[in-house]
Amino acid sequence: MASDLLSRVKRNHGLEHATIHVLSESHKQFSAQGHSDHRGFHLNIYGDVSAAEVEAAVAEAHRRLNAGERQLAVHPNCGTVLVTTAALATLAAQAALALENMREPRAGRVRPVTLFNALPGATVAVVGALIVGRPLGVRLQERYTVDGDLRDLRVSAVREIAPSIITRLFHLLLAGGNPDLHAKSYFIQTTGG
């Protein structure tokens, strides 16, 4: 039962990414963000994309995944990639600080000079983590959080919903609050699988 739910989430997540890829092919002035669960996925669009275009993109993404374009299920800006990169960067900075703190005569207590002395090492460590984090996050995404094989998953509804507070927050983060990039939210419901 739990594995069936997880499989549905992964396939919905793959369809969410594929939909964003399809929209990206025909729209250059927009941004998107979404999240998936066992019922389908929420898709927040920031830009001039109509409901009909979203519905068409979902259908096209579904068709292309079923035709074997499994790579569409993976997206380089997925939360899996962002969280992996952020976690590695945080660990790298903490390790650099810990190493510098151990070099200090009175180890165990972080002094301002220790923070300053750790900065070059922390910067190099974080840059290394950023370089490694993206491809590692994509691999983790491919293996654990998405599935491009939809099997019998079908789209049963695409409906516009009221933007949530999270949608508005991401409007600030992804679109800089640009009023020309209107925020719209959709819920794409799936069945089967």
**pTM of the predicted protein model:** 0.91
Residue 61 backbone phi and psi in degrees, to 5: -60, -45
Query: What integer pLDDT is reported at residue 106 of this predicted model?
Result: 65
All structural domains of the chain with their residue ranges: 2-76+146-191, 79-145
Per-residue pLDDT of the chain (193 residues), as tens digits, is: 789 999 999 999 999 999 999 999 999 888 999 999 999 999 999 999 999 999 999 999 999 999 999 999 999 999 999 999 999 999 999 999 888 888 776 655 667 777 888 899 999 999 999 999 999 999 999 999 999 999 999 999 999 999 999 898 988 888 887 888 889 999 999 999 7
Question: What is the rounded CA–CA span in Å between residue 41 and residue 14?
Answer: 10
Mapping DSSP onto H, E and C, the string for 109-155 reads: CCCHHHHHHHHHHHHHHHHHHHHHHHHHHHHHHHHHHCCCCCCCCEE
CATH class belonging to 2-76+146-191: alpha beta
